Each structure stands twice: as C-alpha cells, then as structure tokens.
Amino acid sequence: KQEVTQIPAALSVPEGENLVLNCSFTDSAIYNLQWFRQDPGKGLTSLLLIQSSQREQTSGRLNASLDKSSGRSTLYIAASQPGDSATYLCAPNRGGSNYKLTFGKGTLLTVNP
C-alpha cells in the first residue's frame, strides 16, 4: 500500500522567503504526481502535475521536482507571499485513471507579512 509522508507538517516563514516542501512515497511505480493547494473551508486546487517521465514542472513561482526512483518530490515556492498561506498536499498516482491516487496529510504553510 502506498504511504505518503509530507515534511514538515507545518511551516511559518516571513514574506519574501524561498521555501521547499517535501513529499516522500513508498511505492515508486507511479504514473504521475500532483501537488494541490487547499485553503481553509475550500476544496483542493491542482497546482502542478508531473508525469513519471519528467523531472520538473514549473508554474510561475512554483517549481515541483520528482525523483521517482528514490520516492521523493519537492515543491519549491519562490519569493513567498501572504497569499501563499494554505495547506499543500502531494498525491502520487499509481494509475492513469486517478483512482489509485494517494494523498499525503499536507504541509500547513503560513507566510507572515
């Protein structure tokens, strides 16, 4: 069974800092991996999807990397802003239909002005 661990569980940084969120998973036979953001009382918003054949994916100030063989992914946020405050979840996917998607418990990020 896929186990997903996200470290740290919570992180508080001052505005403007660059930061890295970590995700590790036990089964490296994945099809892709998604990073999501969840604001309080809201659903999840997909940020980035990295295919198993890719090493990196970028969107604006966000960069996600994937090292499938070691079971690790990182989400790098550049020049953090208070609006980045949210819970970030990673979800490796073992199958193309997403029904084998396993979610981590998330990292709660607070960016202080």
Partner 1 sequence: NAGVTQTPKFRVLKTGQSMTLLCAQDMNHEYMYWYRQDPGMGLRLIHYSVGEGTTAKGEVPDGYNVSRLKKQNFLLGLESAAPSQTSVYFCASKLGAGNSPLHFGNGTRLTVT
Binding site for partner 1 (CB under 8 A): 31-32, 34, 36, 41-46, 49, 51, 89, 91, 96-99, 101, 103-106
Taking the least distance from each CB to partner 1, the nearer of 7 and 79 is: 7
* Spatial distance between the Cα atoms of 66 and 88, rounded to a whole number of angstroms: 16
**What phi and psi values does residue 96 have, to the nearest 5 degrees?**
-70, -20
* Spatial distance between the Cα atoms of 71 and 81, rounded to a whole number of angstroms: 29
Among residues 35, 66, 71, which one has the least CA distance to residue 53? 66
Taking the least distance from each CB to partner 1, the nearer of 74 and 102 is: 102
Taking the least distance from each CB to partner 1, the nearer of 80 and 93 is: 93
Q: How far is the CB of 11 from partner 1 (least distance, A)?
A: 18
